[in-house]
Amino acid sequence: MAGYKHSVSLDIEKCKGCTNCLKPCPTEAIRIRNGHAYIKSMRCVDCGKCISVCPYGAKKAVYDKLSAMDSFKLKIALPAPSLYGQFDNLDDVDYVLQGLLDIGFDDVFEVSRAAELVSDYTRLYMKQPGIKLPVISSACPAVVRLISLRFPFLCENVLPILPPVEIAARLAKTRAKKKHPELKDEDICCCFISPCPAKVSYVSNDMFNGEKSAIDIVVSMSDVYFALIDVMKNDKAPGVSTQSGMIGVSWAATGGEASAVFNDKYLAADGIENVNRVLEQIDNSDFPDLEFVELNACNGGCVGGAMTVANPYIAKARLQSLKRYMPVSQSWKFGSRDSIPDDAKMAEPLQGIPYSPLSGDRNEAIRMMAEIQQIHEKLPDWDCGSCGSPTCMCFAEDIVRGDADREDCVVLVREKLHRLIGEQLKNEKQKDNKDEG
Amino acid sequence: MSDALRFHYDVDGENFTSAGEASAQVKKKLRQLGFSPDIIRRVSIAMYEGEINMVVHAGGGKADVFVYPENIEIVLEDSGPGIADVELAMKEGYSTAPDNVRALGFGAGMGLPNMKRYTDSMTVESELGVGTKIVMKVNV
């Protein structure tokens, strides 16, 4: 993947070279070499797991600053529904929307509103004959990337509808141009307020398929949160009102999207390691009765993203009370829902990304694999990570690929040391005995 | 390349929750070896079904995967009760799985038929009270 732009980065100054991020990485993309971590770009899916486990703040999400939109004439905020769960004692979403206008946005287009459209479209899509079941949600970019890297056969199962934020950006731009015909495309800024770095990657890598996203900048939810709490004083009634309902807001947490499909043959899994296991099982054709699968890389769903502020489970609980008096959905207000419009569909179906094998030559790859197995047999299988590779098997592979040295294994080195000391002692003893004799 | 590359797995019959592990491991290895997604999928499904069968019916067993440049051979061996009527067992929908595993969604009677469908050749040797040996090949 030449030129792939990742949204998880490493601050070498802060990285102590500990192993906290090494094993949680779901794609074994991290290695510790020369005293600090590095990320194997080919394998990383930008799930943000390492950001959440790093105790030293060395792993960072890459995103735009709010000031990045200063040069645009019209600034539109696209708040993810997880934003609403960040605030304590919030009883109406409208206060957040008003707050966004107060911190300098000219317009707001809720991602939850587009999410309700995607729910409508998903129901329509699932009525079509001949589609591949189970349908897998396309909303989480880390999951989509994981599927194209590791489960190429499941690409066909992925819902061929754009994620809500993309649809929100497109609709927001159309609306803005209608309202302000004097503005050109490049004058309008769609700013996504994102809970996670994976969405940054989605935008900076042209939606993973070379198509330019309608989102112009992606800012961190936590930056916006701190700007908002200064202006959200609840001292005046908000001048805007939400255009989404329960369904849209529910998308923020795991199970929300799936339950809106109105089909009880669904599964919702969250947490990248759980997602991996579910995909593994679907890949083995071991899910006979499922029709819809919602997968979120973060624990608890989008509320668990690395750029959020609140504890994901508390955020989810807040959303439950926030949506209590909301209408089920407001999508009926926005035009026909009898068919899926073309601009809500993916331009082309998701493609698998070829995995880089040990060697391009099959015989050489087999030879290398045999060598990996030979080396692995001598390793302790403790998977301690001290060598800087996540598992002993991975270490063996790294050695054969020329990316690690056998001497990096502390267990092997210790054994060698003991052996040498033992021999030394024996020699000395023999020498002593000889001297005495 | 005279010796085949061999992956050996002991399939634990006591631990139902670990069933499917071996096939997941093999999938990873074959990916590293650069086989096409189609080949990998066929091998891993055939192996997965066989692995589940060994756990459900035979209390576990041994699984070996031999990788040759021109084909991949999967050998599954158990010391279980054996299959009384292999031809009947190969029929889609025929199953002798106990109720407790059916409750988990297994026992649809698709195990052996899927193994045959996803591989290029398959032989089943089974003797009652002795065990079962299945050899499957997927051509590359």
Q: Which member of A284, A365, A366 has the closest CB to residue B45?
A: A284
In tens, the pLDDT along A285-329 reads 766 689 999 999 999 999 999 999 999 999 999 999 998 888 888
Domain ranges of chain B: 5-139
Q: How far is B112 from chain A (nearest CA, A)?
A: 14
Using the structure block, give the residue that is written with the tokens 């199970």.
Answer: A255
In tens, the pLDDT along A266-284 reads 999 999 999 998 998 898 8
In tens, the pLDDT along A62-75 reads 999 999 999 999 99
Going along A2-116, which residue ranges are E strands? 8-10, 30-33, 36-39, 59-61, 74-79, 107-108
What is the count of residue pairs from A and B with beta carbons less than 8 Å apart? 63
* Sign of the Cα pseudo-torsion (A425, A429, A431, A435, in order): positive
Mutation target for B interface from A278, A285, A398, A399: give the one with most B CBs within 10 A.
A285
- Domain B5-139: give its CATH code: 3.30.565.10
What's the rounded Cα separation, in Å, for the pair B6 and B64? 7
Give the pLDDT of residue B79. Answer: 92
What are the chain B neighbours of A152 within 8 Å (beta carbons)?
A: 37
Kindly compute the dihedral angle of the four CA atoms of residues B119, B121, B125, B131, in this order, to the nearest 10 degrees. -20
Mutation target for B interface from A282, A283, A394: give the one with most B CBs within 10 A.
A283
Pairing of strands A135-136, A292-296: parallel
ipTM of this complex prediction, to 2 decimal places = 0.70
A280 touches chain B (CB under 8 A): yes
In chain A, pLDDT over 90 holds for what percent of residues?
Answer: 72
Are B31 and A281 within 8 A, CB to CB? Answer: no
For residues A429-435, average pLDDT: 82
What's the rounded Cα separation, in Å, for the pair A43 and A26? 9
In tens, the pLDDT along A359-387 reads 988 889 999 999 999 999 999 999 999 99
The one-character DSSP state at A43 is T
Q: Binning pLDDT at 50, 70 and 90, where does residue A195 land?
A: very high
Residues 80-109 of B with CB under 8 A from A: 105, 108
AA identity, residue A181: P
Are B33 and A355 within 8 A, CB to CB? Answer: no
Please say whether the beta carbons of A319 and A85 come within 8 A: yes
Q: How far is B88 from chain A (nearest CA, A)?
A: 22
Q: Binning pLDDT at 50, 70 and 90, where does residue B3 land?
A: low
What's the rounded Cα separation, in Å, for the pair B140 and B128? 34
The pLDDT of residue A246 is above 50: yes
B33 touches chain A (CB under 8 A): yes
Q: Which domains does chain A have, with CATH numbers?
A: 8-61 (3.30.70.20), 66-344 (no CATH), 363-432 (1.10.15.40)
What are the chain B neighbours of A289 within 8 Å (beta carbons)?
A: 105
Residues 38-77 of B with CB under 8 A from A: 38, 41, 44-45, 48, 67, 69
What's the rounded Cα separation, in Å, for the pair A405 and A381? 16
Are A369 and B41 within 8 A, CB to CB? Answer: no
Are A286 and B69 within 8 A, CB to CB? Answer: no
More confident residue, A413 or A284: A413
What's the rounded Cα separation, in Å, for the pair A387 and A39? 15
In tens, the pLDDT along A207-241 reads 888 889 999 999 999 999 999 999 998 778 888 88
Ranges A87-91, B10-14, B74-78, B97-101, most confident: B74-78
